[in-house]
Chain A
């Protein structure tokens, strides 16, 4: 099982170590540093690094490497999933997950890590339960603790842990009972030069924020559940009910959680909400190239496309660019060769456009690679797959909750080749 955890910042300092079994010398991280050096970029460090006596599994999040040390054959996904859970927990506890915050809260971090694993076995990883065991620091609590001498460690057995609904704490009470559901879809796509779709798929999630008193039992039904043929559920969802009736029936955890994530595959026709027209030419002989891109809406069901951001990694041979946008701001970094254009909203009557010239290194032939354009955008009130919630009902409690459902479509990895 998981032996130890090292947290390493981007400059290569080990700033926290935690051992769940015997102590593993931090010199084991030297193998990690070697791999890091070879990988040139932090994102490219291989996730599994073998050393003569141990295996190092790492994830890179928020500019911190979380390096887990294992000694025996342990499922690597188990370790990586756990590391993700650690990151999420830190974020949940401290709002952000950064070196500074971790150092500021080192004792809480240590206590939390101790509760999450026992001898390398996961113990309590649900944030509901962890928060009952160890209260997250708040300014108020810190002040109160200092004055009264009380502690932020709970002295009750986390009640949920042993009930049939281990994800929900008992005795929840709210004055305003509310349940919000966000249907968020990210569209991943590769569009080729000519504008046709090579592959497109949708990663959707339904995130919930449920603040309901007592033990509510919810059901959520969809207008078109047939869209959901590839789904992963939160453990609270009753799988049998879904299999037979295509209805989500569950007792929710308290607070924020991901109810379900789904995947609409490339085989179903995926609507592409925007298009990019581009004309980029590196002329062979002269030292000037032409550059023009236009972004426009395509299948948006009448909704506005906003938060549009275009980025592109230009080839090394591009020295500088002189461009004029019809709207928004643009920057080009001549060192990293990164072009970014913050477009904002797309007005269908007046399409945003960025046009100008590139100065190329004189004397060299045209670059080997073509730049890829990366697109970000947001569309409110639209789930591009067409998924729609039909109704939400509550059983088991008497009060009338306030319910809300929001839809949003975002660009995931949306790439246009040139």
Chain B
């Protein structure tokens, strides 16, 4: 007798028949009928019409029948809310049943009935169950709170269930603790700001104790929760790690990976010199290797995570190369991941083995895999210089196999090898040329054409080869057409006499017969170049190319750090932060690795606060915004930034063209004018500026401005030396270094733009992303003459604070986009907060006292300023230069107390108490502010000003 009989239907109305059976007097018949109903439900048939009849069966002593009816209720209550009310009484009664199994079952089921009307009736029974004497009921009730929260979050908060749930974290039963943590985590996910899992050393201790005793699933929840905790110092981190390490030997792979996450994260805080650090590294390898012998799906998830781990800490698995060798019957998704990790682990020590393997893979059946294997050989050559030769010869062997797709992939990677090691392996070109005819994929054709053009002088019949491609020019893909055009121009520049006709032909094909604007433009540019100045053309077209970098597909370090915090989650499988793909994640909190802190250091810096829990109250002046990057990318760089220009009207007049950006710096009295001067740091007003101190690269005029700048510092705040913000490598030759300054109430960004490319740059424009204090350019970027190669221009960009505001992390982060004729470049920089301290930041004494008292104590932050051998008066005058005003000075028990005030551009007041012990170089700084998140940055400003 099997259940399949429930699926057989009679021709007469099935529902009708079931109805009759459900109302039968015989218990057995009733149960059979309910079973039939459930069976129909599981295969997706609609049996909701039977609702009243099924609910009638609920009042029964038969546990199985009760369970079956409950199953039915959960499925259909939503569609019949009015009917579902009928069930409430039974639930309430069952919650009082002497049998804990029934109590638990009732509380479990009622949470699954997603009907608003019902949930209200369930609060009382739930409250009782949360405090039930039986832990089995308590743990079921804990989950029920999460269910209820999903249905009606407000109700749960109003009824105080969240607090009860928090109390359950301290329950004596580990199972209850685990479920409470799981429920809280789930609720917290939909309320990132609620600060539900407020972890402190005590609660952490409880979790760690429960960790040893609860079920495997509970361990996962607890470990994931632990990973959000931020230990206060390395000692605490180590002790947590020690207690988590045994989990690495768990049979459940999810437990193992969650433990790995906790360890990877907390390891960041441990000093590398520690013995324990080395032990931990060694302990991490075996469990990761073991994950790879599990089922393929588990392997896949593990491999995606290992991919992150080897990028972050390659030393963990560097000796385990062999476990990533591919078995021929691995599923394709496992094969591709293994291959990726093999390349990441490839080093001089193991390259021979790796290459032998890759060569083996290149003869496998699966085309995608073979292609990737061939590419991997090329990546090895680029990564491990010593192996390049062997890689090239392996690739040549593969080309000899004449397997079409292998040859094509090989040619594509050989092109990259040429880029990395120019003038080293050109002997293979002959072999490549033999396979010209078999290339039918655009990428391979383009690569081959590039090689021919690049080495045209060594290939005797280069012109013939290129000509043969030219025949079918219009049928080629754009990629190939562009490459062909460039290659022929290169050829012409190298062998002008024989190829004039060819170049004419390709130029006319590209400019006259093509609809593709890119192709046409490139054609015209070449044409113009060749016809006006062949020497310049040579310099442009045959310019030396920068070498390609070692590894092209590494995950960007900040993203990598964030992803390490998400080991074992979907984010780690997709290698994207959850904010990029998880739906309904309202304002996902960005996680970050903990900073390395010694136990001796002050633990009060805001960094030490759990990053998973942002400050609960945001001041109104700084609206929170989830999307940090999006805006910058959508920036329209075309029109200049609007906003009232601050004292820069003259800059915009055409007449100042003559002086270029130089006048600008005069007006803005730029003190950090040249790096050499910046090095002297804070320039005292009396300092005499020798004109030859730092001749700026822009020419003689600059000296004059610099001198003027020196004089202009009379009332200026401290200016940091310029640092490189945008290295030339990242911006196609444009290097930008700069600093921020504030002079007489005007903020400016002093920039040094250097053209390190071989082409002229022009059409500069700048824009800022929305930022915490609304910094925005007050005038367009004025660079009048195009910037010639190797030329540097110095410019001071006036800023105002009327731009749009969005809270950034860190607070003083500024994301900038700079455009020129070549491209748009993005960089971000941190500005010192003291450029935002306004001149009227001096508070009245009475006011100061009242405000100090008024601001709650929890807003007070304390910092230490070390190694600053200044007297109180010197400190006071130094700070005043940067608009930090001393309101009062007192001497208490031999210590000098300075009471200071400052005001930010957005009107936030910061009050400070600076305690100076004469003779000791360390000061204690206490800051009070209504928006405590600025305190840390104010402290940084103090540090900078005082130490320069």
Most chain A beta carbons < 10 A, residue from B249, B332, B360: B249
Q: Is A72 an interface residue (CB 8 A)?
A: yes
Q: A374 and B364: CB pair below 8 A? A: no
Select one of A74, A265, A267 contacting B570, CB under 8 A: A74
Select one of B42, B140, B293 contacting A16, CB under 8 A: B42
Set of chain B residues within 8 Å of A335, measured between Cβ atoms: none
Q: Is B333 an interface residue (CB 8 A)?
A: yes
Shortest CB-to-CB span from B305 to chain A, Å, is: 9
Q: A107 and B6: CB pair below 8 A? A: yes
Select one of B6, B75, B298 contacting A81, CB under 8 A: B298
Q: Is A245 an interface residue (CB 8 A)?
A: no
Q: B62 and A77: CB pair below 8 A? A: no
- Give Cα A378–Cα B570 distance, bound, in whole angstroms: 39
Most chain A beta carbons < 10 A, residue from B108, B403, B570: B570
Q: B301 and A80: CB pair below 8 A? A: yes
Select one of B140, B297, B353, B357 contacting A118, CB under 8 A: B140
Q: Is A106 an interface residue (CB 8 A)?
A: yes
Knowing A26-B44, A75-B224, A77-B254, say if A149 contacts B327 (CB, 8 Å). Answer: no
Q: B287 and A77: CB pair below 8 A? A: no
Q: Is A59 an interface residue (CB 8 A)?
A: yes
Q: Chain B 214-236 against A: per-residue CB contact (8 Å), 1 yes, 0 no?
A: 01110010001000000000000
Q: A73 and B585: CB pair below 8 A? A: yes
Q: B322 and A72: CB pair below 8 A? A: no
Select one of B136, B323, B401 contacting A161, CB under 8 A: B136
List the B residue with the shortest CB-CB distance to A22.
B114
Knowing A47-B333, A107-B38, A368-B363, say if A84 contacts B295 (CB, 8 Å). Answer: yes
Q: A106 and B571: CB pair below 8 A? A: no
Interface stretch, picked from B575-583, B689-697, B930-938, is B575-583
Q: Is A352 an interface residue (CB 8 A)?
A: no
Most chain A beta carbons < 10 A, residue from B68, B320, B581: B68
- Give Cα A164–Cα B401 distance, bound, in whole angstroms: 64
Q: Is A203 an interface residue (CB 8 A)?
A: yes
Select one of B250, B357, B365 contacting A369, CB under 8 A: B365
Q: Is A37 an interface residue (CB 8 A)?
A: no
Set of chain B residues within 8 Å of A397, measured between Cβ atoms: none
Set of chain A residues within 8 Å of B320, measured between Cβ atoms: 265
Shortest CB-to-CB span from A85 to chain B, Å, is: 9
Q: B27 and A149: CB pair below 8 A? A: yes
Chain A-chain B contacts (Cβ-Cβ < 8 Å), number: 255
Q: B290 and A232: CB pair below 8 A? A: yes
Knowing A151-B64, A203-B293, say if A22 contacts B357 (CB, 8 Å). Answer: no
Interface stretch, picked from B142-150, B511-519, B730-738, is B142-150
Select one of A23, A104, A142, A155 contacting B4, CB under 8 A: A104
Shortest CB-to-CB span from B95 to chain A, Å, is: 15
Q: B254 and A232: CB pair below 8 A? A: no
Set of chain A residues within 8 Å of B134, measured between Cβ atoms: 157, 162
Q: Is B640 an interface residue (CB 8 A)?
A: no
Given pairs A48-B300, A231-B249, 12 additional interface contacts (CB within 8 A): A43-B296, A59-B295, A104-B4, A107-B6, A119-B111, A119-B146, A154-B63, A162-B175, A198-B322, A232-B249, A235-B250, A265-B323
Most chain A beta carbons < 10 A, residue from B62, B216, B246, B327: B327
Q: A263 and B289: CB pair below 8 A? A: yes
Select one of B136, B293, B332, B578 contacting A73, CB under 8 A: B578
Q: Is A201 an interface residue (CB 8 A)?
A: yes
List the A residue with the shortest CB-CB distance to B282.
A229
Q: B363 and A369: CB pair below 8 A? A: yes
Q: Is A233 an interface residue (CB 8 A)?
A: yes
List the B residue with the shortest CB-CB distance to A259.
B251
Set of chain A residues within 8 Å of B295, measured between Cβ atoms: 59, 80, 84
Q: Is B416 an interface residue (CB 8 A)?
A: no
Q: Chain A 214-241 against B: per-residue CB contact (8 Å), 1 yes, 0 no?
A: 0000000000000001111111000100
Q: Is A350 an interface residue (CB 8 A)?
A: no
Shortest CB-to-CB span from A312 to chain B, Å, is: 10
Select one of A17, A105, A118, A166 contacting B108, CB under 8 A: A118
Q: A17 and B569: CB pair below 8 A? A: no
Chain A residues 309-343 with CB under 8 Å of chain B are 313, 315
Q: Chain B 235-253 against A: per-residue CB contact (8 Å), 1 yes, 0 no?
A: 0000000000010011111
List the B residue with the shortest CB-CB distance to A115.
B67
Q: Is B594 an interface residue (CB 8 A)?
A: no
Q: B325 and A190: CB pair below 8 A? A: yes
Q: Chain A 273-285 against B: per-residue CB contact (8 Å), 1 yes, 0 no?
A: 0000000000000
Shortest CB-to-CB span from B615 to chain A, Å, is: 23
Set of chain B residues within 8 Å of A188, measured between Cβ atoms: 293, 327
Q: Chain A 192-211 against B: per-residue CB contact (8 Å), 1 yes, 0 no?
A: 10000011010100000000
Chain B residues 544-600 with CB under 8 Å of chain A are 568-571, 573-574, 578, 581-585
Q: Is A110 an interface residue (CB 8 A)?
A: yes
Knowing A22-B114, A73-B571, say if A107 contacts B182 (CB, 8 Å). Answer: no
Set of chain A residues within 8 Å of B101, measured between Cβ atoms: 155-157
Q: Is A78 an interface residue (CB 8 A)?
A: yes
Q: A233 and B71: CB pair below 8 A? A: no
Set of chain A residues within 8 Å of B183, measured between Cβ atoms: 121
Q: Is A53 an interface residue (CB 8 A)?
A: yes
- Give Cα A106–Cα B43 distance, bound, in whole angstroms: 10
- Give Cα A124–Cα B874 distance, bound, in whole angstroms: 70
Set of chain A residues within 8 Å of B810, measured between Cβ atoms: none
List the B residue with the shortest CB-CB distance to A240.
B246
Q: Chain B 242-277 against A: per-residue CB contact (8 Å), 1 yes, 0 no?
A: 000010011111101110000000000000000000
- Give Cα A354–Cα B173 distance, bound, in whole angstroms: 63
Knowing A73-B570, A369-B365, say if A263 contacts B6 (CB, 8 Å). Answer: no
- Give Cα A188–Cα B35 distance, bound, in whole angstroms: 47
Set of chain B residues within 8 Å of A231, measured between Cβ atoms: 249
Q: Is B286 an interface residue (CB 8 A)?
A: yes
Q: B583 and A71: CB pair below 8 A? A: yes
Q: B290 and A199: CB pair below 8 A? A: no
Q: A73 and B569: CB pair below 8 A? A: yes
List the B residue with the shortest CB-CB distance to A55.
B570
Knowing A103-B3, A188-B293, say if A114 contacts B67 (CB, 8 Å). Answer: yes
Set of chain A residues within 8 Å of B256, measured between Cβ atoms: 232
Q: Is A21 an interface residue (CB 8 A)?
A: yes
Q: B3 and A104: CB pair below 8 A? A: yes
Shortest CB-to-CB span from A103 to chain B, Å, is: 5
- Give Cα A231–Cα B256 distance, bound, in whole angstroms: 12
Q: Is A1 an interface residue (CB 8 A)?
A: yes
Set of chain A residues within 8 Å of B578, measured between Cβ atoms: 73
List the A residue with the shortest CB-CB distance to B142.
A121
Set of chain A residues within 8 Å of B111, measured between Cβ atoms: 119
Q: Is A289 an interface residue (CB 8 A)?
A: no
Set of chain A residues within 8 Å of B290, measured between Cβ atoms: 230, 232, 261, 263
Knowing A47-B333, A77-B253, A149-B28, say if A121 contacts B179 (CB, 8 Å). Answer: yes
Q: Is A146 an interface residue (CB 8 A)?
A: yes
Q: B286 and A233: CB pair below 8 A? A: no
- Give Cα A230–Cα B289 distance, bound, in whole angstroms: 9
Q: Is B24 an interface residue (CB 8 A)?
A: no
- Give Cα A99–Cα B942 distance, bound, in whole angstroms: 72
Chain B residues 346-361 with CB under 8 Å of chain A are 353, 356-357, 360
Q: A155 and B99: CB pair below 8 A? A: yes
Set of chain A residues within 8 Å of B570, measured between Cβ atoms: 48, 55, 73-74, 76
Set of chain B residues within 8 Å of A152, measured between Cβ atoms: 64
- Give Cα A230–Cα B365 distance, bound, in whole angstroms: 34
Q: A162 and B135: CB pair below 8 A? A: yes
Knowing A149-B28, A230-B290, A263-B286, say if A190 contacts B331 (CB, 8 Å). Answer: no
- Give Cα A152–Cα B3 distance, bound, in whole angstroms: 14
Set of chain A residues within 8 Å of B144, measured between Cβ atoms: 119
Set of chain A residues within 8 Å of B173, measured between Cβ atoms: 162
Shortest CB-to-CB span from A39 to chain B, Å, is: 8
Q: B249 and A107: CB pair below 8 A? A: no
Q: Is A415 an interface residue (CB 8 A)?
A: yes
Contact sample, A vs B, 23 pairs, CB 8 Å cutoff = A17-B43, A19-B75, A21-B150, A23-B75, A23-B78, A47-B297, A48-B301, A75-B257, A77-B298, A77-B302, A106-B38, A107-B35, A107-B38, A151-B31, A157-B134, A157-B136, A162-B175, A230-B286, A230-B287, A232-B249, A243-B246, A313-B365, A369-B363
